[in-house]
Amino acid sequence: MRQPITAQQIKELAVQLDPSTRLLTAADGDEYERLIARWADNAVKRAGAVSVPVSYEEVSKLVKFASDNKLDLAVRGGGHSTGGTSSTEGGLTIDLSGMRAVKVDKDSKLIVAQGGALWEDVDNAAIEKGLATVGGTVNHTGIGGLTLGGGMGWLSGLYGTVVDNLVAAKVVVADGRILSVSENENADLFWAIRGAGHNFGVAVEFTLRGYDQPNEIYAGGVVFTPDKLVPLVEGFNTRMKNSDPKGAGILIFAKPPGMPVAVVVVNVFYNGDEAAAREYFKFLFDLQPVAITAKMMPYNHLNTLLNPMATHGRRKALKAVTVTDHIDVAFVQELYNDYAQQVEKNPDMSASFLGIEIHDTTKMQSVPLEAMAFSNRGSYRPGIVGLEWTDPLMDEENRAWGRMIQAKCRQAVIDSKEFSGDTKTSLEYANYVEPGDLITDKPFGGNQQRLAILKHKYDPDVMFNKTSPITPLRAEAN
């Protein structure tokens, strides 16, 4: 059982830290309140102390102190965890917001980013050198949490997941050591952090592979009335039989302010010119959308498009869902009906959404499941239920509705002809799974046992236990 930090321990820790590392408590007022704030109001917890280091060595001191004193430890990058996994009630929080530097080498096409960087930091620095890399779809998300869980984005069709493009990292493990990891150095830990990294330490630096991105891209929303849902899904099913990795879409159910009913929004992306994009998505434009906001733009503007759906504040929960590769039209219609009825019945949830990501999965599936810990490489379509509300008395009820949709989607995939009972993939994307989502006891699929053995090696006392925690397993118990 991890412990809260005491007043005496705060004094002891302060003496050990460099003056550059701020250490704040509730007595520090507004600055403390700012540091414990999170993207979701319900994820806020009152830490006993919040540290803001600016060097890897200071992170090492903080981790070792937490380990030696069995403190409850949380690590905040972007603070987007709706399950509160970047927060601690009474423990020690390491806030990486003082470590956001990004360096880009045009010649090697390598992007080196500190652990507290946000995707906007990476996108903006990379595009200045004519490069881009796979990143999140909301640019104020932290790179750390998304990368350690695998990471999917608009460029995944071309280049795979974020971890497929992770070349190296620096990780502070539970005993305070700062380890460089790559295919050639601490390779077992490098294997583990690519998909299950939240369980193995504090990632203070990432080296990502960049790609030439000289051209602007076509992206934005295409809005439809709900009666177009069936032909939309049928169109995507046909399109994906001859897909182009340069194109992708997210099918979203949403109820924008002022709309009398829930609508269907397709956020489209094409890494090319408008003529090619409109030809690729011709089936969409032929359905006479009621609004089109898609247009040509610089690549680093792409990941700002969904920011209006992901503003800070209010109460939130994310639920990972999955649908079959060939999307079942009747099932998606049922999901729309569930969503529309829920936001009609509960207007406080009207800012919630349900999304299904549709992109070419060939590149992602070309990497063997055993190549790294990331386990979401099945031929399925990942999705997300993004819940948002204001009434704290409705927390459990609203989450229960999201978990109902999650369970319904899981069962539909299991019942489908596309699912094999001996699959080693995990159906739900780990970055969208919250504590309490009892959908599986093996969130890392066929990689679970190897991860348990590595957990015993690097974190036997389970100090890192917030996101899809892993129970250590001795190698001889294998």
Considering the domain architecture, whether residues 70 and 43 belong to the same structural domain is answered as yes
The size of the chain, in residues, is 478
Pick the closest to residue 395 from 34, 81, 89, 43 (CA basis).
43
Q: Is the pLDDT of residue 477 over 70?
A: no
* Residue with more model confidence, 314 or 441: 314
DSSP track, 233-296? HHHHHHHGGG--TTEEEEEEEE--TT-SS-EEEEEEEESS-HHHHHHHTHHHHTT--SEE--EE
- pLDDT bin (cut points 50, 70, 90) of residue 478 is low
pLDDT value at residue 248: 98
- pLDDT bin (cut points 50, 70, 90) of residue 443 is confident
The domain in which residue 56 lies consists of: 7-98
Considering the domain architecture, whether residues 119 and 240 belong to the same structural domain is answered as no
Sorted by sequence, the CB contacts under 8 Å of residue 60 that are 6+ apart come out as 172, 176, 177, 178
Quick check: helix, strand or coil at residue 376?
coil
Considering the domain architecture, whether residues 163 and 206 belong to the same structural domain is answered as yes
Four-residue CA torsion sign, 198, 123, 185, 188: positive
Q: Is the pLDDT of residue 433 over 90?
A: no
**In contact, 93 and 174? CB cutoff 8 Å:** no
72 in any annotated domain = yes
pLDDT value at residue 47: 98
pLDDT value at residue 436: 82
Considering the domain architecture, whether residues 297 and 422 belong to the same structural domain is answered as yes
Pick the closest to residue 277 from 299, 301, 250, 248 (CA basis).
248
CA 291 to chain centre: 29
The 10s digit of each residue's pLDDT in 59-89 is 999 999 999 999 999 999 999 999 999 999 9
Considering the domain architecture, whether residues 106 and 242 belong to the same structural domain is answered as no
pLDDT value at residue 475: 78
Element (H, E) at 231: helix 229-239
The 10s digit of each residue's pLDDT in 95-112 is 999 999 999 999 999 999
pLDDT value at residue 431: 84
Quick check: helix, strand or coil at residue 26?
helix
The share of the chain scoring above pLDDT 90, in percent, equals 91
Q: Is the pLDDT of residue 123 over 70?
A: yes
Q: Is the pLDDT of residue 438 over 80?
A: no
**In contact, 130 and 314? CB cutoff 8 Å:** no
The 10s digit of each residue's pLDDT in 234-286 is 999 999 999 999 999 999 999 998 889 999 999 999 999 999 999 999 999 99
pLDDT value at residue 378: 86
Pick the closest to residue 68 from 461, 467, 465 (CA basis).
461
Considering the domain architecture, whether residues 396 and 344 belong to the same structural domain is answered as yes
Number of domains in the chain: 3
**In contact, 430 and 195? CB cutoff 8 Å:** yes
468 in any annotated domain = no
Adjacent-strand bridge partners of 74: 93
Distance CA 124, CA 132 (A): 9
475 in any annotated domain = no
Mean pLDDT of the chain: 96
Question: Once rounded to an integer, what is the mean pLDDT over residues 46-68?
Answer: 98
Question: Once rounded to an integer, what is the mean pLDDT over residues 392-419?
Answer: 95
- pLDDT bin (cut points 50, 70, 90) of residue 434 is confident
262 in any annotated domain = yes
379 in any annotated domain = yes
**In contact, 378 and 423? CB cutoff 8 Å:** yes
111 in any annotated domain = yes
Long-range contacts of 391-400 (CB under 8 A, 24+ apart): 391/315, 391/348, 392/42, 392/315, 394/346, 394/348, 395/42, 395/315, 398/315, 398/317, 398/346, 398/349, 399/317, 399/436
**In contact, 92 and 62? CB cutoff 8 Å:** yes
| CATH for 68 | 3.30.43.10
**Statement: the pTM of the whole predicted model exceeds 0.85:** yes
Distance CA 287, CA 238 (A): 15
pLDDT value at residue 357: 96
